[in-house]
Amino acid sequence: MHEMSLCENILGILLDEAASQNFSKVDRVCLEVGPLSGVEPEALRFGFDVVTRGSLADGAQLDIFEPEATATCAACGTTAVIQDRFDPCPSCGSHLLKIKTGEELRIKELEVS
């Protein structure tokens, strides 16, 4: 359950951006959270509400974009969508998969005023 400290990290970034980009209120935060990032979006939502209470992002809308996880097989070269890290290559069954996407954990954009 490190979602709470991730939310504190998010708020820290918002405060830094507020100072450098001159805004005093955050209306919407858009995150990209990959399925292999080790983060539970619902726990993140809960943590975000708690952590931002009384801050410049109090009441801000939280949009979480969840991209697909993809991996390339080192054995046969196929790139495919996977659900979990332990999935075999759908083409040849090998586990020699190199993750390409799905580990994202970033703030994509902000709507501020």
Determine if 10 is a binding residue for another protein (CB under 8 A).
yes
Q: How many CA atoms lie within 13 A of 111 on its CB side?
A: 9
Determine if 14 is a binding residue for another protein (CB under 8 A).
yes
Structure token pair of residue 90: 């759908």
Query: Which CB, 88 or 90, lies closer to another protein?
Result: 88
| Smallest separation (angstroms) from another protein to the CB of 30 | 9
| Smallest separation (angstroms) from another protein to the CB of 20 | 9
Closest CA to 40 of 14, 12, 10, 7: 7
CA–CA separation, 91 and 67 (whole Å): 22
CA–CA separation, 32 and 51 (whole Å): 19
Residues binding another protein (CB under 8 A): 1-2, 5-6, 8-15, 17-19, 21-24, 27, 31, 36-39, 54-56, 74, 84-86, 88, 95-97, 99, 105-113
